[in-house]
């Protein structure tokens, strides 16, 4: 049975983000290794996403970089299969919906 490649998961993430109107930008930092693969911009916020093949593990440098990003207030997610991408997107949609309900309506003032 062929193994699912990381690129397959990344393509699925991109397609799901586009389907929901999110920006899903490739993140490359030539001067710093270990950065997440993608930056996703959605109404609920901007988050980093590391894409792995199913069962893939973070390298030590990635673990350190993700921890540093989190210490600075960033949200970092790791997805490694289609269900984890679906859960990630559902979480972004819920966050967006929750924020829209909590935001005051300009006409209420």
pLDDT digits (tens, 9 = 90+) for 37-50: 999 999 989 999 99
Mean pLDDT of the chain: 90
Give the pLDDT confidence score for residue 44 in this predicted structure.
Answer: 84
Q: Is the dihedral of CA 74, 38, 15, 43 positive or negative?
A: positive
Structure-model confidence comparison of residues 99 and 74, the more confident one: 74
Would you say residue 10 has pLDDT above 80? yes
* Degrees, nearest 5: CA angle 52-56-58: 80
Structure-model confidence comparison of residues 3 and 105, the more confident one: 3
pTM of the model: 0.86
Cα separation, 60 vs 3, whole angstroms: 23
């Amino acid at each position: 049975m062929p193994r699912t490649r990381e690129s397959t998961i990344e393509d699925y993430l991109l397609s799901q983000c586009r389907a929901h109107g999110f920006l899903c930008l490739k993140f490359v930092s030539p001067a710093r290794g270990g950065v997440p693969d993608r930056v996703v911009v959605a109404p609920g916020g901007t988050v980093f996403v590391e894409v792995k093949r199913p069962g893939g593990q973070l390298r030590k440098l990635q673990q350190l970089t993700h921890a540093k990003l989190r210490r600075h207030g960033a949200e970092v997610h790791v997805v490694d299969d289609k269900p984890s991408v679906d859960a990630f997107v559902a979480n972004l949609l819920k966050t967006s919906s929750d924020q829209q309900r909590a935001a005051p309506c300009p006409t209420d003032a």
